[in-house]
Every structure is written in structure tokens, then in C-alpha cells.
Structure 1
Amino acid sequence: MDYPYVPVVRSASLSGYVELAQSLGLDARALLRKAGLSPRALDDPETPLSAAAVRALLEDSAQASGVDDFGLRMAARRHLANLGPISLVLKEEPTARAALDTLCRYLRLLNASLLTRVEDHGALVIIREEILVDQPASTRQSMELAVGVMHRILCELLGGPWKPVRVCFKHRPPKDTKAHKAFFGTAVDFNGEFNGIVCTAADLQTPLPGNNPEMARFARQYLDRALSGRHQSTKATVQQLVAALLPGGRCTSQQVAQHLGVDRRTIHRHLAREGESFATLLQAVRSELVLRQVQDSDLPLSEVAQLLGFAAPAAFSHWFRHTFGCSVTAWRAQEKAKAAVRQGEP
């Protein structure tokens, strides 16, 4: 069954793309057209673009330029103002933590495929990011752009020489990690358990100056109207929650229902109206996340199994072979051969 809508992002997500691509000797317009995007679409920052097309554009650009940190270089050109009206609301929140919670509320207006969660762990706070796509494709550049932009937002809100405790990515490291360490100002872990930023709770309680409450009030009213008019199907909502809950272990319809504040039977009823079931959605999301993890990271299979909610590596291996018709090792070898063909290698 097709998705009831196409996840979109604001054209502002590609702010600075043309300039960066041209500085690296790329034909930006040709790459945009290859991804199915019109160069004119970048003229208006509010133009909605296919999230899948933007992901493909970033991956193709990184490969064509031979630049592993293409997404981070995009993030380096970002400012809080690129968020549009949301930036006005964030600046008027009392603390950086309150601003983060507000950003999570309105994130769907910026990028319908990006899922951000803020978790408290004692003296630390973890800002987790996940990108949902409807096919097993690499999201390396999109993820580094997303985490890089989050870092830039926090730096601008907090001011001064702020730096996180840690930065983590699920995918494997590039050949040289110096650019990543220089960008974030701290150690960067690859092949990690999550994508995101770890910072201190104390840092996020830093008071924000705020100087334009009236403008922020109008901006919030505008955003709330936009959010109320943005319909999201039960399927899309459940997919997002499944992707967020799976790394914590088992993910059941009861857990999803609790997060949404409804009865489990309500979830099943609404999904049935859309021609879906919880079991099929869980299988689809798990398949997508597994393939991306296997493709982009070097994590041992035991850790991949744990991250995706399997009780044991053997259960994961059995599920993978049953779902994809081959072992993880064979699948990786096939993908490596396909990549070599695409790059013109013998």
C-alpha cells in the first residue's frame, strides 16, 4: 500500500547547497535535476521538497565530490534564522531545554521525515535523531546535516564556547574524522547506538535573553495554525514511534498506545481503517532500520540485534534470512558489489 502522503522538507533545508556544490567543482543544477528537484525550488525557502529526493541529492553530491563530510559542510552554513518563524519562538523560550521541546513540537513543519527526541538521564541529556525513509537507502549525509544543524542551533542559543559532551552516529566513520571533531569541538563516536548529541542538563537550563516577545507570540500563533492544518495519518505516527522505541528493546502496540495516550484497541482500529496492521508496520520499520544499520555501520551483528529489539543474535539472523532470503554477510557482499558497479569499479 502506498504512503498516504509524501514526507517533505522546507526548501530552506538546502540553504547553501548550490554554493557548496559549486565550490567543490560540482554541477549543482545537474545534480538537483538528477534527484528530481527543480533548481528554481530553492528560490523560496518555504517550498516543500520531497525528503527522499533531498536525501538522494546529498548522498550523490558527497559521492561525486569525494567529500565525506558534505553534510557537515552544509550544516556549517546554517544559522538559527534558517528555521524561519520557529527561530523567533525558540529565542523567546526561558531556557535552551524549553527551546528544544518547542522545536520538537514544530519539527514536522520543517522536516516530516526527521524524528527528534530529548531524553533525560540524570545529569545528562541525550538528543536523539532518526530519519525515516520508505526504502533501505543510506542517510549518512542527511543525518550528519541534521545533527550538525542541531549543534549549530544549540551553539547559537547558548552562545559562547559551548560544546557537547559527546556526539554519536550509527554509521561507520569516514577515512578521516578530523573535520567532525573540529566541527563539534569534542569526540565523535561512530558505529554508535544512536544518532545525536549528549550534553549536560545544566547547560540546557541556561537562561535565554529573549528580546522580542510580541513578535514571538505572532510567530507561535502562525505555527500553531500551520500545525493544526497538517494532517498526519495514524500509519505515519505509528511508524515514527516504532522507530523511536525499537532501540530500547521490544516495541509493542501497547507501548505505542501508552505514548499516544490512547487504548491499544484504538490504535488497531485506526490502522485497520487505513488498511494497515501494527504487525506489518513493525516489520516494515524494522526492515528499513536493519538494512540501513547493516549498510552504513560496522557494528557486530549482536549489537545490531540488540538495537532492533531482538532477544538474541540467533533470532536476528533467522529473522533476516527469512525476510530477505539470505544471510547478513551475503547481503552485505551483494550491496558492496552493487556499489562497485555504480562507481565503475572492476
Structure 2
Amino acid sequence: MSGLDLANRKRINTSSQIKFLGKVSRACGDDWLGLTLAKDFDLREMGVLFYAAASSSRLGDALLRIERYARVANEALTIQIARVPNCHIGFGYTGTPRQLNRHQIEFTVLVLLRLCREIVGQSLAPLRVSFVHHRSGDLRNIRELLGCDVEFDAYADELEFDAAAADLPLAGDDQFLNELMVQMCEDAISIRATNASTLRTLVENTVAPLLPHAEATAKTVARRLGLSERSLARRLADEELSFGEILDELRRDLAVRYLEEEHLQASQIAWLLGFHQPSSFTHAFRRWTGKSPSEFRISRGSFSAAR
């Protein structure tokens, strides 16, 4: 992301946003940067998406508007709404790796929750919130902001309300304005080219939430992508890739990120990456970098050595 992009208010792609927020977080020493930004974010800056949602008649209608038009605000973000048995809001990315993203997804979830609270005129409390990425330590702030317990290292990024929440009426119900905003959103998505997600990114985003559960196998990933294991292997081979290569490189990238976190011990990182034994993680990390996890932390000047 360049200063020129910011000065000219050009659209910045999602991958660049994620990298930028990571750098700003480290520079500012704010490990919860996404929440910090989301607390003071002016919801009107969502543009037509805000007004399309706020002018709907009920919360469920507003969420359906957000589901359909999320890419008007973010070209890589996908939102899926399910109303049975409860009101589930699922978040995902297409064409953008999910595994190194913490700040933007936390920002997105809190902003959407704030939007729901504002348009229904009450402090909605979710039944639960879950994130794919890892967090530990003091979680009181995020629990207070979201109003419920928060699960990390989950299978999916999700926000869940009681089923009755979808039927809550909105104070800004305006059929004429809603039709106008919906048409503007339809026009926007009809002229905006969508980037096809690469197979590698699809595999990475499917593998990431499976790692802490030691379920990141080619068979499981293929099933989640609606493919046979043989078809997945063939399609990866067409791109000169293999499942083992993608898994290994993803683990390496996540290991480096996790070693930047002071409180994470090597044994915890091994578990987060799906290794059965800490020694297996140490062996793999030495293969990746030529150093043990503790030596790597020392070379980076990163906190205390991994234990």
C-alpha cells in the first residue's frame, strides 16, 4: 500500500489492507488494532451498504442486504446468512489468504455488530462469536465489546444471534429509500469485476481452521471443497502444486507469526499447527529456517526464548 493510494483515496485490495493493519499494529504496540478502529468507526462510511441495510424493514432483511452486497465495500469479503436454528452470520474471504488476518476480521465483526445494534435501537448481545485465528491471554476487552464469550481457534468466523433477532423491526424502515439503495448496490456489483479465487488460496483458507484440530488432511480438505481427494491432487498438480507443499508452507508462515507472540510456548504453537509432538514442530522449524524456535526468537530479538 503506497502513500499515493491513500492520498488519492484509491481502492486498496484486501490483502494489502491486512498487511498494512499488521504493520500498524506492531508499530503502535496495539495488538487489538481492529477493535480499536471498529469502536470509533463511523458506520455511514460503509456508504450505500449502510443505507441499504438501515432502510430495511427488519433486521433479517438488513442482513440479507449485507450478505448480497458485502463486496460493494470489500471485494474479497463474503458473508453468509442462515436463520435456522438461530441467526448465523458467517464470514469468509475469496482470493485472499485468511490465515494471517486477525485485525481486519475482528474489525469487520465488531462493525457489523455495531450496525445491527444501531439499526434496531438496542444493545443486541450475540449468543456466541467465533474466530479461526488464535488469541489467548486477557480477552476481557473483546468479550465486553461483543457482549458474549468468544471462541478462538474455531472452524469458522461466525456471529450468532437468537432466531428472534431476525424479526426485530428497524426504526429507519423506508421502502422508497431501500429500493433506491438496493438499485445502487445492484448497479455497483454488476460493473465491479470479481477476482476468481485461486485454488491455492482456497486450500489454504480451508486448511487453516483445521490445523489446531489435527484434521488438516488432503481427504478432509477435498471433501470441504466438494472434490474427491484424487481430483484435488490432479487440480493442484495442474498448477505445479501439491497438498503437502501448501500445508508445509502454511505451517511455516504461521509458525513465524506465532513466535512473535510472547506468551505462546513452543508446545502451544506445535498444537496450533497440528503437530502431534513439540519435537516434530522443532524439527520442522529447523528445516524451514535452519534454527530452532528458541534460536529464531533470539535472532529476532523476540521476547523470551520458546520453551
Q: TM-score scaled by structure 2?
A: 0.69
Change (3 A) 1:305 1:207: farther
Mapping for residues 260-339 of structure 1, pairs under 5 Å = 260-296=225-261, 298-335=263-300, 337=301
1:155, 1:238 → 2: CA distance?
Answer: 35
2:234, 2:31 → 1: CA distance?
Answer: 45
SS in 2 for 1:230: coil
Code of the residue aligned with 2:260 in structure 1: it is Q
60, 63, 71: which is aligned to 2:34? 71
Aligned to 1:11: none
Mapping for residues 51-90 of structure 1, pairs under 5 Å = 51=14, 53-65=16-28, 69-87=32-50, 90=53
SS in 2 for 1:295: coil
Contact 1:93 1:99 in 2 (8 A): no
Aligned to 1:343: none
1:96, 1:120 → 2: CA distance?
Answer: 8
Change (3 A) 1:203 1:264: same
C-alpha deviation, 1:338, in angstroms: 6.2
C-alpha deviation, 1:152, in angstroms: 2.6
Change (3 A) 1:119 1:286: farther
Change (3 A) 1:264 1:62: closer
2:18, 2:214 → 1: CA distance?
Answer: 28
Aligned to 2:180: 215
Q: Which moved more, 1:79-88 or 1:317-326?
A: 79-88
Contact 1:95 1:204 in 2 (8 A): yes
Contact 2:87 2:166 in 1 (8 A): no
2:61, 2:257 → 1: CA distance?
Answer: 30
Matched residue count: 296
Change (3 A) 1:241 1:104: farther
Change (3 A) 1:68 1:274: closer
Q: Name the Cα RMSD after superposition.
A: 4.6
Change (3 A) 1:204 1:217: same
SS in 2 for 1:76: helix
Contact 2:58 2:169 in 1 (8 A): yes
Contact 2:66 2:79 in 1 (8 A): no
Contact 2:21 2:33 in 1 (8 A): yes
Mapping for residues 1-346 of structure 1, pairs under 5 Å = 36-39=1-4, 41=6, 43-44=8-9, 47-51=10-14, 53-65=16-28, 69-87=32-50, 90=53, 92=56, 95-96=59-60, 99=63, 103=67, 106=70, 110=74, 112=76, 141-142=103-104, 144-164=106-126, 170-171=134-135, 173=137, 180=142, 183-185=145-147, 192-194=152-154, 199-202=160-163, 205-207=166-168, 209=170, 211-212=174-175, 213-215=178-180, 217-219=182-184, 221-222=186-187, 225=190, 229-296=194-261, 298-335=263-300, 337=301
Contact 1:69 1:141 in 2 (8 A): yes
Deviations 1:185-232 (A, max 9, x none): 56678xx53596765444654445454452354355346536774222
Code of the residue aligned with 2:294 in structure 1: it is T
Code of the residue aligned with 1:48 in structure 2: it is R
Q: Which moved more, 1:94-103 or 1:270-279?
A: 94-103
1:102, 1:126 → 2: CA distance?
Answer: 10
Code of the residue aligned with 2:123 in structure 1: it is P
Structure 2's unaligned 5+ residue stretches are none
Identity of aligned residues (%): 22
Code of the residue aligned with 2:46 in structure 1: it is L
Structure 1's unaligned 5+ residue stretches are 1-35, 341-346
Change (3 A) 1:37 1:285: same
C-alpha deviation, 1:110, in angstroms: 0.9
C-alpha deviation, 1:293, in angstroms: 2.5
Change (3 A) 1:288 1:223: farther
Contact 1:95 1:208 in 2 (8 A): yes
C-alpha deviation, 1:288, in angstroms: 1.8
2:83, 2:257 → 1: CA distance?
Answer: 27
Deviations 1:28-50 (A, max 9, x none): xxxxxxxx422553554xx3325
